[in-house]
Chain A
Amino acid sequence: MSSDQDEDSQSQHHTQTAERDRSIRCLVSKVGLDGHDRGAHVISRAFRDAGFEVIYSGLHKAPDEIVQAAVQEDVDVLGISILSGAHDTLVPKIMDGLEEYGAREDTLVLVGGVIPDEDRPELEDEGVAAIFGPGTSIEETIEFVRENAPER
């Protein structure tokens, strides 16, 4: 991971990124009754192009299923895309599930989608590291992941 600084400045330069010791693993997930997955697809593709290994959950997953995938795949980053407004019930369930398997501490949990400002503190208290709303640039998200992906 020591070569991170070089890579950031030359992220377009494929030979640099290909030489990473370790790929950042991400689970991009859609949870609950929310069928809007364009954002999740765009993020998956952008993460892939950034050199991350991306596992996409598919649509309509239950919190348990997200937790199962996150634990088994041992991901560094769990991105939860929610546009349905059910974040205040679904996200805590996922966080509790991660806790159950001892994965909460060292998984970087991100939430993307439509989250009203007044709901943000609650999610952050739950342990969500960052919330990316509409208008967030892809670069910003990738940068955040690179800087905050847990060291293991």
Chain B
Amino acid sequence: MNADDRELLDALLAGEHRALARTISKIENRAPGYRELVSALYAHTGNADVIGITGSPGAGKSTLVDKLAETYRERGETVGIIAIDPSSPFTGGAVLGDRIRMASTIGDMDVFVRSMSARGTLGGLSTATADAVKAMDAFGKDKIIIETVGAGQNEVDIVRTADTVAVLVPPGSGDSIQTLKAGILEIADVFAVNKADRDGADRTVQELREMLHIGEGVGFGGSGHHGADAMADDRTEPTAGTGAGNEDRGGNTDAEAGADGDGNDTDSPAEWTPSIVETVATDGTGVDTFIDELAAHKSFLVDSGTHAEKVRERYAEEIRTLLREDINTLLETELEEAGGVEDLAEAVRTGDTDPYTIATDVLSPVAACLEEAAVQAPGLESESDADRH
């Protein structure tokens, strides 16, 4: 790490807002030296709760995040927010509008809001987001919230950088529940039916609950004991104690567990059943319950030991993504040397060759290098790699 970056790191750790802002810029821009900087951040991380919030456009994410931030601040906790908006696939430009909704805490520097655009790099954003979370964590934020539109795989990857994922479902989105099913709804730890003062909120809650119970019925999570009797009172069925939905938790839990006999938490791995809360982000209704559920999920992760597993999986994914990007960078160079992708594409168009032949040709010197490196000391390759960046 050079002297400037060392200074930047020191300033960040000393709590200078500008240093945090600059560090995130370096991460976003993949500026020279950012890798060493992020590496150095890791030693100072691990204290923040990371919460991912996603949902369809207009679901009320930014407004709810604003209320979350306000409530956390009232409790004396500092907050970092990373708000991600799409960028134009054509110009790369973006209008990052989430900040406008975050009015409750404006002027409070202990809420650090950073807008990020998708910048069009596949997988790159989830890495940049994870790194920005590290920067905020090292800075000393207690809660870090990642907010992104739930539109596809990329977004799923982003919110996976969080310990706890909340999915916002506005009422009357019966159809969008269907379309969301394949991805977004599966990653939710907590559902917030936002705009719960609108017609159809009850129905949306009901639909979500049904979806969750269907999932339970066919899942592996120790649901095998569900007989006809158990199915009859599914609504009050506790799953692994802490995992029950918020409305299901309470007085009847003990009785149910007793009646069931074979408590899930003893004979099968603990599993969290997503809870459902109703919120009205604009006036703050349900926000406390929502926060309690987020906290309950975090406690569940820690108590059940799944947190360590989750963190491990996340780091494994980070390592893979990072390596993919690094190799991608190497290949870009190879591609340039092979005449640039446009010439190659033209050659395919005119029928002189095909993409598979080109890919093999471009890759062969890289493969040769790897074989060579395997014979030599393993450290050499990574050093020359680091020089490149």
What distance in Å separates the Cβ of B317 from its nearest Cβ neighbour in chain A? 26
What distance in Å separates the Cβ of B321 from its nearest Cβ neighbour in chain A? 20
Residues of B in contact, count (CB < 8 Å): 34
Contact with B along A98-127 (1 / 0, CB 8 A): 000111000000000000000000000000
Q: Is A35 an interface residue (CB 8 A)?
A: no
Would B93 and A47 count as touching, CB distance under 8 A?
Answer: yes
Q: Is B339 an interface residue (CB 8 A)?
A: no
User: Which residues of chain A from 1 to 48 have a CB within 8 Å of any chain B CB?
Assistant: 14, 17-18, 20-23, 25, 44-45, 47-48
Q: Is A71 an interface residue (CB 8 A)?
A: yes
Contact with A along B1-33 (1 / 0, CB 8 A): 000000000000000011011101100011100
Chain A residue nearest to B94 in the complex (CB): A53
Contact with A along B85-96 (1 / 0, CB 8 A): 001111111111
Given A68-B106, A69-B99, are A49 and B93 also a contact pair (CB < 8 Å)? yes
Chain A residues within 8 Å of B89, by CB:
18
Q: Is B168 an interface residue (CB 8 A)?
A: no
Q: Is A96 an interface residue (CB 8 A)?
A: no
B29's contact among A21, A45, A49, by CB below 8 Å, is which? A21
Would A48 and B25 count as touching, CB distance under 8 A?
Answer: no
Would B21 and A72 count as touching, CB distance under 8 A?
Answer: yes
What distance in Å separates the Cβ of A138 from its nearest Cβ neighbour in chain B? 13
B93's contact among A51, A64, A72, A103, by CB below 8 Å, is which? A51
Chain B residue nearest to A47 in the complex (CB): B93
Residue from B24, B30, B115, B120 whose CB has the most chain A CB atoms within 10 Å: B115
Would B90 and A55 count as touching, CB distance under 8 A?
Answer: no
User: Which residues of chain B from 9 to 59 have a CB within 8 Å of any chain A CB?
Assistant: 17-18, 20-22, 24-25, 29-31
B120's contact among A18, A50, A55, A64, by CB below 8 Å, is which? A18
User: Which residues of chain B from 296 to 350 have a CB within 8 Å of any chain A CB?
Assistant: none
What distance in Å separates the Cβ of A2 from its nearest Cβ neighbour in chain B? 14
Chain B residues within 8 Å of A69, by CB:
99, 113
Contact with B along A67-85 (1 / 0, CB 8 A): 0110111100000000000
Q: Is A94 an interface residue (CB 8 A)?
A: no
Chain B residue nearest to A70 in the complex (CB): B21
Q: Is A62 an interface residue (CB 8 A)?
A: yes
Given A17-B91, A48-B88, are A72 and B113 also a contact pair (CB < 8 Å)? yes
Would A56 and B112 count as touching, CB distance under 8 A?
Answer: no
Tell me whether chain A's interface is mostly helix, strand or loop, or mixed: mixed
What distance in Å separates the Cβ of B4 from its nearest Cβ neighbour in chain A? 11
Would B106 and A54 count as touching, CB distance under 8 A?
Answer: no
Chain A residues within 8 Å of B100, by CB:
56-58
Q: Is B119 an interface residue (CB 8 A)?
A: yes
Would A50 and B93 count as touching, CB distance under 8 A?
Answer: yes
A48 CA / B90 CA spacing, docked (Å):
10
What distance in Å separates the Cβ of B83 from its nearest Cβ neighbour in chain A? 10
Would B117 and A53 count as touching, CB distance under 8 A?
Answer: yes
Q: Is B109 an interface residue (CB 8 A)?
A: yes
A55 CA / B240 CA spacing, docked (Å):
44
What distance in Å separates the Cβ of B206 from its nearest Cβ neighbour in chain A? 36
What distance in Å separates the Cβ of B26 from its nearest Cβ neighbour in chain A? 9
Chain B residues within 8 Å of A65, by CB:
106-107
A31 CA / B213 CA spacing, docked (Å):
51
Would B93 and A54 count as touching, CB distance under 8 A?
Answer: yes
What distance in Å separates the Cβ of A77 from its nearest Cβ neighbour in chain B? 13
Chain B residues within 8 Å of A71, by CB:
17-18, 21
Chain B residues within 8 Å of A74, by CB:
18, 21-22, 24-25
Would A62 and B107 count as touching, CB distance under 8 A?
Answer: yes
Would A51 and B96 count as touching, CB distance under 8 A?
Answer: no
Chain B residues within 8 Å of A49, by CB:
88, 91, 93
A89 CA / B17 CA spacing, docked (Å):
25
A54 CA / B97 CA spacing, docked (Å):
8
A52 CA / B90 CA spacing, docked (Å):
12
Chain A residue nearest to B108 in the complex (CB): A68
> B residues touching A (Cβ–Cβ < 8 Å)?
17-18, 20-22, 24-25, 29-31, 87-97, 99-100, 103, 106-107, 109, 112-115, 117, 119-120
Known A-B contacts: A14-B90, A53-B87. Give 10 more (CB < 8 A).
A14-B91, A22-B31, A23-B117, A47-B93, A48-B91, A55-B95, A68-B106, A71-B21, A72-B17, A72-B112
> A residues touching B (Cβ–Cβ < 8 Å)?
14, 17-18, 20-23, 25, 44-45, 47-58, 61-62, 64-65, 68-69, 71-74, 101-103, 152
12 A-B pairs, CB-CB below 8 angstroms? A22-B31, A51-B91, A53-B117, A55-B97, A55-B115, A57-B100, A69-B113, A71-B18, A73-B113, A74-B22, A102-B18, A103-B18
Nearest first, the 4 A-B pairs at minimum CB distance are A74-B21, A58-B100, A48-B93, A14-B90
